[in-house]
Amino acid sequence: MADILILGYGPAGISAALYGLRAGLDVLIVGKDAGALARAHMIENYYGLEKPLSGPELAEVGKKQALALGAKIVDDEVTDLFFDGNDFVAGGLSGEYRGKACIMATGSARKKQPLPGMAELEGHGVSYCAVCDAFFYRQKKVAVLGSGEYALHEVSELLPMASSVTLLTNGSETTATFPGTVTVETRKLAGLVGEGAFKGVRFEDGTEEAFDGLFVALGSASATDLARKAGAAFDGANPVLGPDFQTTVPGLFAAGDCTGGTLQVAVAVGEGAVAGLAAIKYLREKRNASA
């Protein structure tokens, strides 16, 4: 089991890892791809680059640097996160990963395009966490918005509780294999129905379907999704973070694009450093308290 479990191997995750590794800690990094850097053609505005590097090149250099210091890096998509009383446990598609502290560095979730009315109905029939809220929908008719592995994870949480589960792909092809008990609806959505409380969805063809609840699972699990699952407190749509990027769950941190603000490599690296140092401090204090 790792001392620090880091979710994401972009600049924020790698930067946090470098501090943990150089403090002599065991660091495990789980990520699914090169994140935003995979799409960055050329990086010219980051300190110390003698010549511009492409985003993928910079990502590769960062990973090599962490590996050279002893990091363990695993390729997997994380769909779940909780604290079991001793450790943080991240559930991935291929395995389970544990750490005494955890830093979420999963990048920006800006690719997720919410439907009109979704933000207003959050907590009033619209949920972002099946493991948190499935209980409220016992024997109810629910829908999951999404089409991939993360949506499958949320569907699996809901199937034993709800009377029926419909997958709303909003025009996308499914990229995971869903159980036959799930109704797959691929029509494009126009928006949500309900004022003050979610009542159902409206399709672009003008028809509507009633649901008791909607679970949003677009793309892969973001730091916000994972923070919710781990029980962190929220201020509106964002987890509450201290100056050291710690959530309200002791030992759980966030860093980089996933915290919002200026989405730049320099900022992600800086936040990763602060979160990494704070995770080291947290582990040392915890160890001293139990000595």
Rule CB under 6 A: say whether 166 interacts with ligand FAD.
no
Transcribe 250-265 into DSSP letters.
TTEEE-GGGG-S---H
Q: Which is nearer to ligand FAD, 32 or 100 (CB)?
A: 32
Rule CB under 6 A: say whether 234 interacts with ligand FAD.
no
Residue 44 beta carbon to ligand FAD: minimum distance, rounded to whole angstroms: 6
Residue 180 beta carbon to ligand FAD: minimum distance, rounded to whole angstroms: 26
Sheet arrangement for strand 183-185:
126-127, 213-216, 141-145, 164-168, 183-185
C-beta separation of 92 from 76 below 8 A: yes
Alpha carbon distances (Å) from 231 to 129, 133, 139, 227: 10, 12, 24, 6
Residue 72 beta carbon to ligand FAD: minimum distance, rounded to whole angstroms: 14
Binders of ligand FAD among residues 19 to 78 (CB under 6 A) are: 30-33, 35-37, 39-40, 43, 45-46, 77-78
The residue ranges of DSSP E strands in 32-172, in sequence order, are 72-75, 78-83, 88-92, 96-104, 126-127, 141-145, 164-168
The C-alpha atoms of residue 79 and residue 76 are separated, in whole angstroms, by 10
Q: Which is nearer to ligand FAD, 47 or 135 (CB)?
A: 47
Q: Which is nearer to ligand FAD, 28 or 258 (CB)?
A: 258
Which residue from 99, 146, 148, 256 is in contact with ligand FAD, where contact means CB under 6 A? 256
What's the CA angle centered on 128, arms 5 and 163, to 5 degrees? 120
Q: Mark the segment that binds ligand FAD (CB under 6 A) among 3-11, 129-137, 202-210, 233-241.
A: 3-11
How many residues sit in the footprint of ligand FAD (CB under 6 A)? 34
Strand partners, 221: none
Binding site for ligand FAD (CB under 6 A): 7-13, 30-33, 35-37, 39-40, 43, 45-46, 77-78, 105-107, 220-221, 256-258, 263-266, 268
